[in-house]
Amino acid sequence: MQRRQLLRGAAGAVLVPAGWPVDAQAPAAGPVRIIIGFAAGGGVDALARLVAERLKDALGRQVIVENKTGAAGRLAVEAVKTAAPDGDTLLIAPQGPMTLFPYVYRNLRFDPSKDFTPLSRLVVTDFCLAVGPEAPVADVAGFKQWALAAGDKTSYGTPGAGTIPHFLGVQIAHGLGIKMTHVPYRGGAPAVLDLVSGTLSAAVVPISDPLELHKSGKVKILATTGAVRSTLVSGIPTLKESGVDLDVTAWYGLYGPAGVAPDVARKLQAAVAASLKELGLRERLAKIGLVASPSTAAELQAQQRAELAMWAPVVKASGFSPED
């Protein structure tokens, strides 16, 4: 009997070696999921994977990126809306779903103001007005004269109907007093390719899309859309400097579902802030046209609220009909 008890004790020692903490037998926490509404290989995917790589170290947990494409990014947003509010399912989204989509879709199945927990802005960048290499213009003033001479033949490509670049193009045309026909694409890259080939007169896209082609002389960026000149290109004025009263900066934010506990939200925000301060990460982001710009949750919420109010009259004035 004594021998059998000793054997049982030895077996227990194999399962829980002496000196291990009592909770060492608890299962490890599962991965944190970052969901994005864009395909692998694109700019948002690159951003998400860079952030995931740093958060893994900051949180001490596995962080994975899930690409849930479709419905202009809405499927990803809806997936995070319905996730458990435990901080394990996060969303990286551009400002469009959170500030513009309520005005361009009739049957939006989420409320940007109520269904999510803002955590931090991640990065900012600019949109830009660009032309092809053969366009006989060097600046916005020259583009205006070129477009006036072309009458109604001037076209501009964007990443899609109902996107922020779509409405920026409307505002640019209005500000310059010209006519431009909108040509929607499925993303900014295809529009830039047609710009290079001469199929399009111009493109209004995130600066990351034509950045390398601009540097190689295959595309000409005429102006950027932010309040100050972009640090990603030298010598390029803003639209406001060029006579168009327009100031819109592109940004990407990190969100959780509504109801994330304040202490969990603070931990995630602090991890993001620490990660985005790293020089190596900032340099890698700059290579894909993004500038690290972490914020507090309150700052992200305030920015989202302000832009929600801004886009309502712009969309209405454009005559755009909301989609289903």
Please give the pLDDT value at position 277. Answer: 94
For the domain covering 126-224, report its CATH number.
3.40.190.10
Cα–Cα nearest to 297, from 90, 56, 63 = 90
Q: Is the pLDDT of residue 17 over 60?
A: no
The C-alpha atoms of residue 204 and residue 186 are separated, in whole angstroms, by 13
User: What is the four-CA torsion angle of 246, 99, 187, 318, rounded to 10 degrees?
Assistant: -60
Statement: residue 6 has pLDDT above 60? no
The answer to whether domain 32-124+249-318 and domain 126-224 are alike in fold is yes
Q: pLDDT tens for residues 110-125?
A: 999 999 999 999 999 9
Ranges 14-28, 81-95, 163-177: which has the least confidence:
14-28
Ordered DSSP codes for 65-132: EEE---GGGHHHHHHHHTS-SSSSEEEEEEHIIIIIHHHHBTT-S--TTTSEEEEEEEEEEEEEEEE-
Q: Give the model confidence (pLDDT) of 148-182 as tens digits.
A: 999 999 999 999 889 999 999 999 999 999 999 99
pLDDT at 86: 97
Give the mean pLDDT of the chain: 90
> What CATH architecture applies to the domain 32-124+249-318?
3-Layer(aba) Sandwich (3.40)
Per-residue confidence (pLDDT) for residue 5, from 0 to 100: 44
> Quick check: 27 pLDDT over 90?
no
Residue 266 binned pLDDT confidence (cut-offs 50, 70, 90): very high
pLDDT of residue 105: 94
What tokens does 306 get?
Answer: 């302000």
Question: What are the domain boundaries of the chain?
Answer: 32-124+249-318, 126-224
